[in-house]
Structure 1
Amino acid sequence: MNSRLYYLDSLRAILMLLGVVLHSAAPFTQSKYWLVSYSNSSLFLDYLNASIHSFRMPLFFMIAGFFSLMLIERMSSAQYLRNRVLRLLLPCVVVLFTFNMLQALVLTYFSQSYEGFDLENILSHWQGHFSISHLWFLINLFIYCCFLLPAAWLTHALFKDALARLSIYRHNKSLCLILGMLALPMLNTLVLAIGQAGLPIYETFFIVGMPYYLVYYSIFFFVGAWIFSFKDLLSIIEKQTYLWLTALLVTSAVLYFHPFDNNNIEKVVVSYLEALRILVLCLFIWSVFSRLVVQNNVILSKLSNASYTIYLLHHFFVVALVVLLIESGLSLPPIPAFLLIMTVVYVLTYVIHAKVINKSAAMTRLLNGK
């Protein structure tokens, strides 16, 4: 990888690792929205989770789109699809039928311990708890990658060459690229239209999760691919930190202070502005990080190598440790309890990666697709 892209590799890893923060904090939030909840909670952790959630997955999918198109340029179609199956689907299936099954057993025990052990209901409880859980993004990413392969060819054949011949593009390349990128959040209105049509995009399905997220996050994935398509745009994003900050403040102010009505036109405007606000927030973080990480860093490199394993395994350990904490009867303050769970999970999953996964070619293939 070119040295100037070390920051993207590190940023992608940090976004993965923030998932551990998110899920370790979830049992201690006041909203009680997660799989298990601790008796003591903190509103601060609700705000922490909301802050992380606002940018983590959109920015992750942007970077994934960027690197996916890079792979398409470097590989044949068959090599690209094989790489995506090994890197995305294989670890997903392995973790789904190992750690996620164990997680379902832990949750079944936890629910039954309060309801009384009824053997007739244990299987139905286990089936209810067995889900794709935190692995949903791998399915989404694989679907996007499959669509990207023909889309990349069509874009180059039908659009990119024609765009280069336009006079306005040759004289105002930076402006055209920025406007093209900022037009992509209009796809968010497609989510609104699909929902208005009555299709079940807000229901959760076993494999694909919630279709709403499948459509919504595709915006950011294809923004990332757009950035890679036009090399000049990457330089613009890296340099225009204050432009993205200004755009973020303006869109946030408009959404907060403007009294939007509930008619269809204003719903479309709000839908676009909300996606645009998240996009410019991601661009701002992207730009800032490009300035902070200017060369390869040993610590970030090790974390980057371990981040996939840590994310895949962490969910089970968070659930198991929180259930153990609840069953122990200990009453800990929520923030120290969150920090304890998070630290133990980070250390435990990193050690598993370094001492088990990294030492075995078979385990590396199964859990990292390498």
Structure 2
Amino acid sequence: MDARLHYMDHLRALAMLAGVLFHAALAYSPLMQPWFPTADRQASPWVDALAWGLHLVRMPLFFVVAGFFAAWVVARRGQAALLRQRVRRIAVPFVLAWPLVMAALAGSTVWAALNVEHPSPMLAMLREHMQSPDAAPAPLSTGHLWFLYYLLLFTVLHWVLRTLDLGRFAPALMRRSPAWLLAGLPLLLVPALASVSAPHPAPEGFLPQFWAIGFYGAFFAFGALLHAAPDWLARVQPWLPRLALACAVFYVLFLWCLGVEPPGPERLTASWGVAALEAGLSAWLTVLCLGLGQRFLDRPNPLMRYLAQSSYFTYLLHLPLLFALQYLLMDLDWAWPLKFALASAGTLAGCLLAYQALVRHTPLRRFVG
């Protein structure tokens, strides 16, 4: 398979860029107002209707594409080439970007806690914590770079499974009717999602979390199997209208459940029913995006190619820039849609300008281009 699969490039770019919109939307989400540092005084349930759909599909889709391209590299160049590529493209950027990103986030958040007149509940709590004489330092976290940490982990697990030939029965599943995987994948995800709160949190700790390995690892494995069964997406095309209808019904139920059972300290794990809704939505929305992407995005497009090339660097850089902009917007009495648009557009513009100046025509493109 030497032809470039444009839709995979484009879906990876869209999954990364959706993260910018998702993180920008959380500032205006009623559900996240008590928990998110940049939470604004204004919020709208329409934001929740947008944000949690992105949350359920963007990282599962990213890990499917990552698994697909991992299998692609192994098939064309071997396992050693994949390990070398992962060191250059993931380990080195993570080691170099993590301290810079965390320092920038900490600096802007401390400034906001001390200077913003209308702080979010989280900023107000931080302000009180900073004034305590025996305040403990914040625990170390991977922040929004957690996906790099898990990509490295999945690369090792992928090598172990291939070496021990533990996945030899999985290709038989891909040869069966798509109904088997469409039903089986959500069932596989339910136990992982039932062990954490809903919506599922980001696994930002340095200690690997088993639920995240089971959840995101299943999508990574699915992507690797897609490479071995290139006709599976063509066979799932007739199922897409039914998947879209099922996702619409499940999503309405999921939003209703979030209103009835909002996340909080007293609800550290999701009910099995909510976990089943999350699992079905994550799996089916991901397959829906793959099927629609193959149908409509599998052609060269200069704009999408540029976004695909810049999306990795954009995602690494976006959160410190977004937080700084939203902290500056907090005290303004502007309508939330205007703040949301300014924060999102300003973040994307800043990241693309930085990519153009620092990465595209420099040696850094080998690492994050």
Classify the TM-score, shorter chain: 0.7 to 0.9
Distance 1:322 1:153 in 2: 47
* Secondary structure at 2:138 match in 1: helix
Output one character per residue of 1:191-210: Cα deviation in whole Å (capped at 9) or x when no partner. Answer: 278x49xxxx9896632475
Tell me the equivalent position of 2:10.
10
Q: Which among 91, 100, 117 is matched to residue 89 of structure 1?
A: 91
Q: Do 1:20 and 1:311's aligned partners in 2 also have CA atoms closer than 8 Å?
A: yes
Match for 1:9: what amino acid? D
1:47-126 alignment runs, 5 A limit: 47-113=49-115, 115=127, 124=136
**What amino acid is aligned across from residue 229 of structure 2 in structure 1?**
F
What CA distance in whole angstroms lies between the structure 2 residues aligned with 1:330 and 1:256? Answer: 29
Cα deviation for residue 272 of structure 1 reads 5.3
- How big is each residue's C-alpha offset from its partner over 1:282-318, in whole Å with a ceiling of 9 and x where there is no partner? 1112111222123110000001100111111000001
Counterpart contact for 1:228–1:234, Cα < 8 Å: no
Q: Is the 8 A contact 1:136 1:208 kept in 2?
A: no
AA in 1 matched with 2:342: L
Aligned alpha-carbon RMSD (Å) = 3.5
- Per the TM alignment, residue 3 of structure 1 is displaced from its structure 2 partner at its CA by 4.7
- Asked if 1:332 corresponds to 2:331, the answer is no
CA 224–272 in structure 1, closer or farther in 2 if over 3 Å, else same: farther
| C-alpha separation in 2, matches of 1:269 and 1:41 | 27
Listed one character per residue, the Cα deviations across residues 34-82 of structure 1 (whole Å, up to 9, x for unaligned) are 2222222222212211121121111221121111111221223222112
The CA deviation string for residues 96-150 of structure 1, in whole angstroms up to 9 with x for no partner, is 11122121122122224474896986984xx427632111111122211211123
Q: Which residues of 2 match residues 345-356 of structure 1 at below 5 A?
A: 345-356=347-358
Which structure has the greater CA radius of gyration? 1
**Mapped pair 1:138 → 2:186:** no
1:227 aligns with 2:231: no
Give the drift of 1:245: 3.2
Q: 1:280 to 1:4 in 2, by over 3 A?
A: farther
Distance 1:255 1:40 in 2: 23
How many residue pairs end up in the alignment? 340
For structure 1, the residue ranges without an aligned partner over 5 or more in a row are 164-168, 258-266
Between the aligned residues of both structures, percent identity stands at 24
Residues 10 and 208 of structure 1: is their aligned pair in 2 closer, same or farther, counting only changes over 3 Å?
Answer: farther
User: Matched residues in 1 for 2:322 and 2:164: separation?
Assistant: 44
- How far, CA to CA, are the matches of 1:26 and 1:269 in structure 2? 24
TM-score, normalised via structure 1 length? 0.79
Tell me, in whole angstroms, the C-alpha distance in 2 between the residues paired with 1:344 and 1:270: 35
Partner of 1:296: 300
Asked if the contact 1:40/1:333 (under 8 Å) is kept, the reply is yes
CA distance in 2, matches of 1:24, 1:250: 26
Shift of the 4–81 alpha-carbon distance from structure 1 to 2, 3 Å rule, reads closer
The equivalent of 1:185 in structure 2 is: 186
- What amino acid is aligned across from residue 50 of structure 2 in structure 1? L
Structure with the bigger percentage of helix: 1
Structure 2 counterparts to residues 122-201 of structure 1, below 5 A: 124=136, 127-128=137-138, 131-155=141-165, 158-159=168-169, 163=172, 173-175=175-177, 178-180=179-181, 182-191=183-192, 195=195
Deviation for aligned residue 1:189: 4.6
CA distance in 2, matches of 1:205, 1:3: 36
Residue 235 of structure 1 and its aligned partner are, at CA, apart by 2.5
CA deviation profile, 1:86-105 (whole Å, cap 9, x unmatched): 21222122221112212112
Residues 129 and 135 of structure 2 are in contact (CA less than 8 Å); yes or no, is this contact kept in structure 1?
Answer: no
Q: Which amino acid aligns with 2:42?
A: N
Cα distance, 1:41–1:145 mapped onto 2, change above 3 Å:
same
* SS of residue in 2 equivalent to 1:303: helix
**Distance verdict in 2 for CA 1:104–1:209, change over 3 Å:** farther
